[in-house]
């Protein structure tokens, strides 16, 4: 598929600077793009490539002031990064919309309810009483358990496993290898030192517009539901334990883990490799720095924390400054000790 600069400009509401008939058929990084490709420039660090790239069309910020002549056609928008992301989304929609029908071999239970314009890839397995919305894509090797509901326009990538009774909303994307609804980690210690498994009879609810990265695990609740609320984005390799609630529009980076029954508020930002203990609450707007360990509730909204155990980010920066000054402070203390000893000697 090829598109002209004029067609792309209409999609992203851009102002054209250059040849509006310039055509592109693929995307490229600005430092590597070739003729016939579209690139974008949002980070000033890459501006030097604007004047040397072979890209045919480039999306740039409307505030950008050129220092040299540019050979490519420019599409000026208020936010180049957001416009490029939106364009990629539209392109992906066009590609995925071409997929439709049910491939063989696949298994679909007779009690399953299927929406319109769906795609079921080969080797997918849809269990009893599954409900699939319109325009859903389920790729090869995916397993959908009994009574699972999947909303409209959702994409279940290859190898995803969704256990019984889980509910997936509209416009949800779940990437390969992720497991939704596996048993929560619940074991009762017995007098003889062994452990008895506590049955996990709840489910997982994933609300609308959520995206979950590859090889993540979201455990079903012991009772009730583990809930990922609307607009939340989870990276790869994330563990969400039983009965956790993750608020709206929260971001969690890779290799983070949240222990059971913890509740994250709305618009929380969690860095990579963060560990959060169970049965606590994290207030709306909290920012948790990478590799932090959160051991108690954060009650004040829009707080930034870091470290293990995690504490106020600004206080942490002051502590780091103090720590860096310790060698100099030690030197000054020793000089003062010498001075005191000299004064005492003179006095004697």
CATH number at residue 61: 3.40.1390.10
Split into its structural domains, the chain has a count of 2
Looking at the structure, tell me whether residues 189 and 106 fall in a common domain.
yes
Spatial distance between the Cα atoms of 28 and 336, rounded to a whole number of angstroms? 63
- Domain boundary at 63, 97, 131, which? 97
pLDDT at 248: 98
Active site residue 279: no
Q: Are 5 and 19 in contact (CB under 8 A)?
A: yes
Q: Does 297 fall in a domain?
A: yes
Is the pLDDT assigned to residue 330 strictly greater than 90?
no
What is the model's pTM?
A: 0.81
- Domain boundary at 38, 70, 97, which? 97
Compute the average pLDDT of residues 83-101: 83
Identify the residue with better confidence: 261 or 344.
261
Looking at the structure, tell me whether residues 43 and 191 fall in a common domain.
no
Tens digits of residue pLDDT in 257-302: 999 999 999 999 999 999 999 999 999 999 999 999 999 999 999 9
Cβ-based neighbour number of residue 232 at 10 Å: 24
Spatial distance between the Cα atoms of 160 and 155, rounded to a whole number of angstroms? 10
Q: What average pLDDT is seen over the chain?
A: 94
Looking at the structure, tell me whether residues 110 and 161 fall in a common domain.
yes
pLDDT at 92: 78
Looking at the structure, tell me whether residues 116 and 250 fall in a common domain.
yes
Q: Are 142 and 161 in contact (CB under 8 A)?
A: yes
Lowest mean pLDDT among 58-67, 91-100, 241-250: 91-100
Tens digits of residue pLDDT in 138-163: 999 999 999 999 999 999 999 999 99
Q: Are 200 and 184 in contact (CB under 8 A)?
A: yes
pLDDT at 342: 84
For residue 132, what is the domain's CATH number?
Answer: 2.160.10.10
Is the pLDDT assigned to residue 97 strictly greater than 80?
no
Q: What percent of the chain has pLDDT over 70?
A: 99
Is the pLDDT assigned to residue 173 strictly greater than 90?
yes
Tens digits of residue pLDDT in 21-70: 999 999 999 999 999 999 999 999 999 999 999 999 999 999 999 999 99
Q: Which domain holds residue 49?
A: 3-97
Question: Highest-confidence range of 145-149, 316-320, 323-327, by mean pLDDT?
Answer: 145-149
Q: Does 324 fall in a domain?
A: no
Q: Does 227 fall in a domain?
A: yes
Q: Does 322 fall in a domain?
A: no
- Domain boundary at 97, 118, 146, which? 97
Under the banding of pLDDT at 50, 70 and 90, the label for residue 311 is low
Q: Does 346 fall in a domain?
A: no
pLDDT at 348: 65
pLDDT at 322: 76
Q: Does 41 fall in a domain?
A: yes
Compute the average pLDDT of residues 223-242: 98
How many secondary structure helices (H) and strands (E) does the chain include?
Answer: 4, 40
Q: Considering 157, 175, 242, 279, which one is annotated as catalytic? A: 242
Runs of H (alpha helix) within the chain:
5-12, 80-97, 313-324, 326-347
Looking at the structure, tell me whether residues 180 and 45 fall in a common domain.
no
Identify the residue with better confidence: 342 or 59.
59
Looking at the structure, tell me whether residues 39 and 114 fall in a common domain.
no
Looking at the structure, tell me whether residues 107 and 32 fall in a common domain.
no
């Amino acid at each position: 598929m090829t598109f002209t600069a004029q067609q792309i400009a209409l999609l992203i509401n851009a102002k054209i600077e250059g040849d509006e008939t310039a055509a592109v058929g693929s995307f490229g990084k600005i430092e590597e793009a070739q003729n016939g490709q579209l690139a974008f420039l949002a980070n000033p660090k890459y501006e030097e490539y604007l004047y040397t790239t072979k890209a045919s069309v480039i999306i740039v910020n409307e505030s950008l002031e050129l220092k040299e002549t540019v050979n490519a056609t420019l599409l000026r928008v208020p936010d180049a990064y957001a416009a490029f992301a939106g364009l990629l989304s539209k392109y992906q929609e066009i590609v995925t919309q071409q997929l439709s029908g049910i491939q063989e071999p696949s298994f679909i239970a007779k009690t399953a309810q299927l929406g319109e314009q769906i795609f079921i890839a080969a080797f997918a397995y849809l269990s009893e009483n599954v409900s699939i919305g319109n325009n859903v894509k389920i790729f090869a090797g995916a397993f959908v358990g009994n009574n699972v509901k999947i909303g409209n326009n959702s994409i279940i990538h290859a190898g995803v496993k969704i256990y019984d009774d889980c509910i997936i909303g509209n416009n949800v994307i779940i990437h390969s290898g992720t497991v939704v609804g596996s048993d929560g980690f619940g074991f009762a210690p017995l007098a003889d030192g062994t452990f008895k498994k506590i049955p996990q009879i709840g489910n997982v609810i994933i609300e609308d517009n959520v995206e979950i990265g590859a090889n993540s695990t979201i455990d079903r609740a012991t009772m009730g539901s583990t809930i990922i609320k609307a607009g939340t984005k989870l990276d790869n390799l994330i563990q969400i334990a039983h009965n956790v609630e993750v608020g709206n529009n929260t971001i969690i980076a890779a290799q983070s883990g949240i222990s059971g029954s913890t509740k994250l508020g709305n618009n929380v930002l969690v860095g990579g490799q963060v560990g959060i203990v169970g049965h606590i609450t994290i207030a709306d707007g909290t920012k948790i720095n990478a590799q932090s360990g959160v051991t108690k509730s954060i009650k004040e909204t829009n707080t930034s924390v870091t470290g293990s155990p995690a504490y106020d980010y600004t206080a942490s920066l002051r502590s780091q400054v103090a720590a860096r000054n310790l060698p100099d402070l030690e030197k000054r203390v020793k000089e003062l000790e010498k001075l005191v000893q000299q004064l005492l000697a003179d006095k004697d």
